[in-house]
Structure 1
């Protein structure tokens, strides 16, 4: 089994290292940064209300474990779209869009939550 068969897409479509870095950034910003700052706000600033109705419902019903499960589900869905875009659709927009959006959204809300936390 060669390295090429382990790649999530044809080598000529995109660079594997680029793929990994896109998803490391997305996971760090959305999965870690936004999640940790959201949890910190809920614990140390209870007067701050969650603005996302889906996240608010998940937190109310399932708590912090539910938030983690929600974030993992979103990341997995976006990752599946990105891989499918590269493997089957050969669509560069759909390949780049999910990790870029997660990185931007995660970064924005991490900074926004920190701003709320620090007053």
Structure 2
């Protein structure tokens, strides 16, 4: 039996361990989705002297306002979720775990950075 057949018969990781899958994505949502968005909005609204440093986010904000920021975040989140689910279906642990862990790390860093900017202002 070939390796690819074994992978097809194995249930995806998100079905084998659904609690793990949910908690990985809850952490990503809390930090990248909520924490970064809320802290970005706070420092843009309450400290007008601070400008957004990320050119892609700055373009989204300038072109579409706060809705552009949220739409950009949702698009990135959905692409990463798709990569994670595809990795789980293929039995690829790296592609399964990497997206939510990366979003959690990036979200934590960006939220902390935004909060530091707010406190320094």
- Alignment gaps of 5+ in structure 1: 1-8
The higher radius of gyration belongs to 2
Post-superposition shift, 1:12? 6.0
1:111 aligns with 2:107: no
Deviation per residue, 1:29-84 (Å, 9 max, x gap): 00000000001111011111111110000000000011111111111110000000
* Count of paired positions: 110
Residue of structure 2 in register with 1:34 after alignment: 36
Residue of structure 2 in register with 1:5 after alignment: none
Residue of structure 1 in register with 2:3 after alignment: none
For the aligned residues, what is the CA RMSD?
Answer: 1.5
Residue of structure 2 in register with 1:97 after alignment: 98
Superposition TM-score, scaled by structure 2 size: 0.86
Distance 1:92 1:51 in 2: 33
Residue of structure 2 in register with 1:47 after alignment: 49
Superposition TM-score, scaled by structure 1 size: 0.88
Distance 2:13 2:35 in 1: 32
Distance 1:60 1:90, change over 3 A: same
- Alignment gaps of 5+ in structure 2: 1-9
Which consecutive aligned stretches of 4+ in structure 1 deviate over 4 angstroms post-superposition? 11-14
